Amino acid sequence: MRKKLFSLFLVLLAMLIMGCKTSAPPPPTTDNAIAFFVHTEFFPLVGPLQTVPGIPTSWSNPRDIIGGNTPRGDTSPFSVTTNAIGLAVVENKRVPAVWSVIWEGLVPGEIPELCLGDVNDFPVNPQRTTEIICYEILTPFFGTSITQGNAFTFSPQPVYTDNSSGSVATISGQGFSAQYGMPRVQYFDSGGTLISQGDATAVAPDGSWISAPMPDASQAAPGAYVGIIFNANENGGYTFMGTSSVSVLSPPPPPPPPNCVTATDGIQMVCDAN
């Protein structure tokens, strides 16, 4: 009897020791709620927008989007390379925000200079795809023609489809001139269709920026668009200056009324009449 009790004690002791064993800490989790997607694309002079795989990009200097959701995530610089279908996933980086992005890869079949080292600003929102686009532009050079990127900065970004982004856009760069008339901006979608155009209303004395009417985005689908900028010339025509990417988004939902909370069904709002 005593032997059986001792054996039972050993079994219980072993179970107790196993139950008190310290387990390894779980691996750190990823906040998928602030992940975003990157897609590298090439917009040729002739033909539609196309995917470009395997493009390394460098990201830095995020600026928070005013009036959007509360920004979250790490603000330190990073690099990411898109995969065989031109996609990459970025996790735990600052969103919503505007990032300065450098295109560091080569477009297959194009001249080495095309887009290499181009810098532009791109608005990034969680759970959405940010299109990093290389635009092919035809410019004269020593009596021949080559393609090269020539990006200008468009503000504000993004432009909302309810036209709530304001009535005036500012495009920053160099070389703007009103000597022969106001510069002109034409906006195209990814298929090369002209969706809007307007002439500048003001030009900086040093040619570093222009103000122009905001493009009408009320009929535009959310996505990436390109603005083509021209200077008026002495012949009564226009001379190409450069391009600027424009991101069009659906408007953010309005904030809830004061003293309101979301009901238990997660949809309806319950408001305090006081």
Distance in angstroms (rounded) separating the CA atoms of residues 150 and 134: 10
Q: Residue 86's domain spans which residues?
A: 33-148
Q: Is 163 exposed, middle or buried (0-12, 13-18, 19+ CB in 10 A)?
A: middle
pLDDT one-digit tens code per residue, 31-81 = 445 788 888 888 776 666 788 899 999 999 898 877 667 888 999 999 999
- Confidence (pLDDT) at 33: 58
Lowest pLDDT segment from 75-89, 134-148, 193-207 = 134-148
Same domain, 161 and 247: yes
Residues 179 and 160 in one domain: yes
Query: For the domain that residue 245 is a member of, what is the CATH number?
Result: 2.60.40.10
Same domain, 42 and 134: yes
* CB-CB contact of 113 with 21 (8 Å): no
Same domain as 173, residue 242:
yes
Most confident of 36-45, 145-154, 155-164: 155-164
Instruction: Report the pLDDT value the prediction gives residue 146, as an integer from 0 to 100.
Output: 31
Query: Is the same domain home to 171 and 129?
Result: no
Our count of domains for the chain comes to 2
Which range has the top average pLDDT, 9-23, 115-129, 251-265?
115-129
- Mean pLDDT of the region 264-274: 59
Question: Would you say 107 and 127 are in contact if contact means Cβ atoms under 8 Å apart?
Answer: no
- The arithmetic mean of pLDDT across residues 139-152, rounded, is 40
Specify whether 247 is located in the same domain as 159.
Answer: yes
Q: Among candidates 118, 129, 36, which has minimal Cα distance to 74?
A: 36
Per-residue confidence band for 25, with pLDDT thresholds at 50, 70 and 90: very low
Q: What is the CATH number of the domain that holds 100?
A: 2.60.40
pLDDT tens by residue, 219-242: 888 887 878 888 888 878 777 777
| Residue 169 contacts residue 212 (beta carbons within 8 Å) | yes
- pLDDT value for 6: 40
Q: Which residue type occupies 244?
A: S
Same domain, 165 and 144: no
Q: Which of 99, 122, 148 is the last residue of a domain?
A: 148
How far is residue 50 from each of residues 102, 109, 220, measured CA to CA in Å?
Answer: 19, 13, 20
Domain co-membership, 113 together with 164: no
pLDDT of residue 264 exceeding 70: no
